[in-house]
Amino acid sequence: MDLHIDDFRRDSAIILLRLYNHFPRQYSIYISEITQEGYEDEFGLINARYEACLATMYWLAEENLLTYKSEMPNEGIEQATLTLKGYQLLLGYSTLKQISQDLSSTEDQEAQPQRRIQHIREALRSQSSAQMEIVMDEFFLSIKC
């Protein structure tokens, strides 16, 4: 199991959802709010999980899914917003069928396509690594290189 990839998927989902929820306004993203961990480990060194979350923010920006005005060293990014590409990918219809475990839904509801942002919300709500893997891999694979 690749825990660093699981963390990457989860961090990406949280970052993208927060920016979507604030779109088109700019929003500051703090690593501590995403990882729920402190900046330093018990030895006073920069927490590797912290560094990975910041690297995720930079990677999402490099892939043109978000943009930001400035960096807050060891804290996050300021004045971030989704790019048009990021917004369109989140609003795009997923190729996945409904993935929630809601047994009360009808077949008609399950057959309706869902937007990727809805799948991301459901995966975060479920706290399931398996569900997050499916949703975020579908999201990233939908990006045209």
Is residue 58 a part of any domain in this protein?
yes
- The range of the structural domain enclosing residue 79 comes to 3-139
Q: What is the pLDDT of residues 48-96, one digit of tens each?
A: 888 999 999 999 999 999 999 999 988 899 999 999 999 999 999 998 8
Give the pair of three-digit tokens for residue 2. 């690749």
Those residues whose C-beta lies under 8 Å from the C-beta of residue 18, and which sit 6 or more positions away, are 27, 29
Is residue 144 a part of any domain in this protein?
no
The structure's pTM equals 0.86
Is residue 145 a part of any domain in this protein?
no
Higher local confidence (pLDDT), 46 or 135:
135
Is residue 68 a part of any domain in this protein?
yes
The answer to whether the beta carbons of residues 92 and 65 sit under 8 Å apart is no
Q: What is the pLDDT of residue 144?
A: 80
Domain count, the chain: 1
